[in-house]
Structure 1
């Protein structure tokens, strides 16, 4: 694969890295290796965390994690010129990019079901994700192949522009989903007086803010025209975001179900597994957030047996 000149609109978009900087090569290798390590750990954690291997949350997280591998391998092969078959790295990074980016959006969408009951909002979010597949993924893919196989200035310039558009578009998409989540989580925080739960909710908010900052960092790097750094760092940051998802998943399920329990009982509604006539405790003023409940066999919280894959 031949390299473009440094004056081209997208430096090294269509070829391997031909610069003399050892630091750049080490940086590329480091980003890719960290991403690989995180992905291997993620796959293990996903299968250990989910009790049943089904549901949108499980599959979106698994697909997004697995997608990081071909994405990072493709760019490693491309920048280090490990093959003369241009279509191999281009196809790998394209397939991986689709799975990694849209998979992450579906992870965020699946998580929204824990805190948002408004089906109209959920349908709009899902529609936005599907729409952006056609508005952002498809044209970027076409320009990726055009730039790498035709090598014309017009196709490279077009890809360079589209790369910035799609990165901005997907960043805005994830910010919108995360903002909806944070808005609802903040409402949960205001209505929850339990100190432990409030601490957990604050941690969840911090995780979402961190993910938004990662997206913004990628945008800044891209608009500074550091294409090599942006594309390889993206794999690392997406793997980190998924690890944060795994880290807070259990806490998120507990807090969300506790909030749902409180909201329903205040309206006189109870989950299907509860017989209201046999309730002996005051669920509107529980002694502890997730402690024991009178009237349940074994005096345990009904949420202790909740499977993570029930998040749909």
Structure 2
């Protein structure tokens, strides 16, 4: 465990002075993260029927502009390939797109189970404010510790890095916890009628708990002072969390389809008030038809209005065969 006055381990010298086991662990973490990101981009492009919507773009940006540059920059950085400024630039640009945008991914799918407009707006404000406060702060101390290298700058970077990791962890914890809370409420809807829906909701809760545990796990190497391990593990964890989003999305599609069947075959009052009617009746398992228009809920014009801004449901839901 390094002192707060020391340069973070690996920030300048990489992992060349570390043991072979450490080098292998870092290489495995970064290699797996890069593979996950490339695979995820391919899945995104072939899965979504329409390339638009906050969910699609936040997922794509976090993978393409976030995980990949962060991973490549970390490889150049920790294994001393090329100039230090290039490695740090790639890593830092990727960090900007990977970590804060991950919160947007969580926020964008929160709409499917949570419809308190005021609360959703506050969550979005929280994501924006955290990014405005934390990103410039960590950038300044990061560059100061990497190039000035005085005890004051090193200590400032250690403190702000821990503050940043903890802040984003708590932010994602809040969004995931709110999602789990609302998912449990949905699980309690007519529990005796749809056992398949109950199983899916249990899976959704389990996946979100895994995401929370991975966020908490990132705090351990950070507070132990293992900079290189924390950075490489962060790339791996965020790539896994993004891939888990596809598991979440597929189950959201399924649970929405099951709920749509309930709406058709049961009395309308059974639909909970926290489920938007458009979500409850739209067929998420197929892309919107393009050869005809409809004023109903299943046509290409199916949209819902949130805060005065029309939003295409099919832009969020991919074309999936379940």
TM above 0.5: yes
Where structure 1 has 5 or more consecutive residues not aligned to the other structure, the ranges are 266-278, 287-299
Does residue 218 (structure 1) correspond to residue 218 (structure 2)? The answer is: yes
- Pair member with larger Rg: 1
What pairs with 1:7-86 in structure 2 (closer than 5 Å)?
8=6, 10-66=8-64, 67-83=66-82, 85-86=83-84
Distance 1:301 1:158 in 2: 51
Shift of 1:222: 1.0
Distance 1:13 1:164 in 2: 15
Distance 1:258 1:125 in 2: 29
Shift of 1:17: 2.2
TM-score by length of 1: 0.83
Does residue 196 (structure 1) correspond to residue 196 (structure 2)? The answer is: yes
Corresponding position of 2:238: 238
Corresponding position of 1:305: 286
The alpha-carbon distance between structure 1 residues 152 and 121, as it changes in their structure 2 partners (threshold 3 A), is same
The alpha-carbon distance between structure 1 residues 99 and 246, as it changes in their structure 2 partners (threshold 3 A), is same
Distance 1:91 1:20 in 2: 23
Distance 1:147 1:256 in 2: 49
In terms of mean alpha carbon deviation, does 177-186 or 148-157 score higher?
148-157
Shift of 1:308: 5.8
Shift of 1:7: 8.0
Secondary structure (helix, strand or coil) at the match of 1:191 reads: coil
Query: CA contact under 8 A between 1:71 and 1:96: conserved in structure 2?
Result: yes
Corresponding position of 2:310: none
Distance 2:73 2:230 in 1: 14
Secondary structure (helix, strand or coil) at the match of 1:51 reads: coil
Corresponding position of 2:105: 107
Query: CA contact under 8 A between 2:284 and 2:314: conserved in structure 1?
Result: no
When the two structures are aligned, how many residues end up with a matched partner?
Answer: 279
TM-score by length of 2: 0.80
Shift of 1:147: 1.3
Where structure 2 has 5 or more consecutive residues not aligned to the other structure, the ranges are 271-280, 288-312
